[in-house]
Structure 1
């Protein structure tokens, strides 16, 4: 009996232990479920703009990493013949005939694959001057400069270069990163659930797209300057003065200037008289005839009435 009672007590104790263990496990699961429900509620209560900013920041960091990796993987060859260089030049050439030389310059630029960007001319026979702005491919820059110098007597030449390779590489990396930021903003805009979130994300997307357009415009400008070099050519006639040339002074120079001014004044005076002569003939001759007739009438003797003699007054008699 004693052994049977001990076995029954052992089984009852095991059952109570198993029941307590199951109860504790159930309570733990319930608490975990409540905590998860509370955290989910707190997460769902977060505002959409905050989620957008958080996701946008993560997307920007990822895009920046991807852009850096892309820039590093696709880094250009930075040898001398592969660098982005802007060539600019200015030269002055004295020629016999400015118009003929200008046509020759236009023809050689066309053969080189370029075009005339500007053409300003001042024609005055021997001192004529033409200012031409040439846009030629960078590979043909030196060749065109030498051909222009052979048109006449070269008076001046100035060649400048600007290396923009690093600026170009940096600009390309910024464009890649900005495109990724624009794409992330578009994705967030597609998931907007309220008017406030929609307006906020549209403004952010517009700002990012404007920044991207500005970067792309800078890239196109650099590409144009590196692909086509600029040469400013001044074609001067035989009597044209070079820029910066000192003016002559002295008695003979003053006399020459005064004579030119006198001739110019006489030319203007004769021009004015020539313009007034038809008016003088049309109105001056009739006026002169009229004045002549009036003068003759005034010289004719006027008829006057006879004047009677004054009465004689008798002389007074003297007293005796």
Structure 2
């Protein structure tokens, strides 16, 4: 009995030790499915998440930078030359140049195109040429539009190649004409898409800065609005003086014409009036005839009164 019990305990202990050893091994079958599945999920997750998604990093986005600024300087011409030199050093160029050289109100407006990566540095450098009065910077993100254009261009190129293959296999004149027209439309659409892509690429690669340099005597601040009797009187007097000035200017312009045309007309009118007042020359008028006189020295016969008939 004692030997049987001892043998049974020995068998149970040996079975427990072998089971513990098998569970504690690192390459055991119990750990393999769990560990292997987790590793596979971790490796597959980045690929699944990035499939078809655009790159959203800031250095990969298509952004159009546009800036406008006004700087007051002592010498407008010198500031314009310095601005052009700064743009040339940054790898850009001048897209437009308008200047007004009057000493009282000198002004220069430049349209500068600079690489997008140097946009902020060039703007800051331009502001240091004088006293900055205004600065406006606008950005437009066209990444999605650029991606859409790339996809449409790829699809349109495939359509063009398909039309060309069909054109090569045309067997009749009508089919050849139809395929040529269709190929022409597809090529025109492709050219339009490529032109849009080039335009976007130009705007994103080269930013636009419109800078205006004004002289130190230029007044750019808004004057306060004044009201009152004196203000109205001064405004009315200014309007009156301006009106008289305009009237005198017009009169001075018309005076030579009035002298050249008006004097002969006045002389002609006077001559006509004198002719109307002067009577025409002719025979003397005869005096009126006197009534006949009675017999000399005799009494004048009374007038005869007609007889009246009396009533019965």
TM-score of the aligned structures, taking structure 2 as reference length: 0.57
The number of residues matched between the two structures is: 243
Q: Is the 8 A contact 1:117 1:133 kept in 2?
A: yes
Q: How does 1:223-234 map to 2 (within 5 A)?
A: 223-234=201-212
1:136 to 87, 92, 114: 114
- Structure 1: how far apart are the matches of 2:205 and 2:235? 50
Change (3 A) 1:189 1:277: closer
Q: Is the 8 A contact 1:98 1:236 kept in 2?
A: yes
What are the Cα deviations for residues 64-107 of structure 1, in whole angstroms up to 9, with x where unaligned? xxxxxxxx89x997643343221111222233454554444344
Structure 1 residue 229, shift from structure 2 partner: 0.5
Bigger CA drift: 124-133 or 192-201? 124-133
Q: Is 2:136 aligned against 1:190?
A: no
1:178 to 149, 156, 176: 156
The Cα RMSD (Å) is 4.6
What are the Cα deviations for residues 198-253 of structure 1, in whole angstroms up to 9, with x where unaligned? 233223322321221122111101111011101122334433335xx466222454
1:81 to 51, 59, 68: 59
What are the Cα deviations for residues 163-186 of structure 1, in whole angstroms up to 9, with x where unaligned? 333432342233223212211210
What are the Cα deviations for residues 95-153 of structure 1, in whole angstroms up to 9, with x where unaligned? 34545544443443344333333345567754555443222221231122112212322
Change (3 A) 1:249 1:126: farther
Structure with higher Rg: it is 2
Structure 1 SS opposite 2:159: helix
Q: Is 2:215 aligned against 1:241?
A: no
Structure 1 residue runs of 5 or longer lacking an equivalent are: 1-71, 294-320
Q: Is 2:227 aligned against 1:250?
A: yes
Change (3 A) 1:289 1:175: closer
Structure 1 residue 154, shift from structure 2 partner: 1.6
Structure 2 residue runs of 5 or longer lacking an equivalent are: 1-50, 272-312
What are the Cα deviations for residues 32-62 of structure 1, in whole angstroms up to 9, with x where unaligned? xxxxxxxxxxxxxxxxxxxxxxxxxxxxxxx
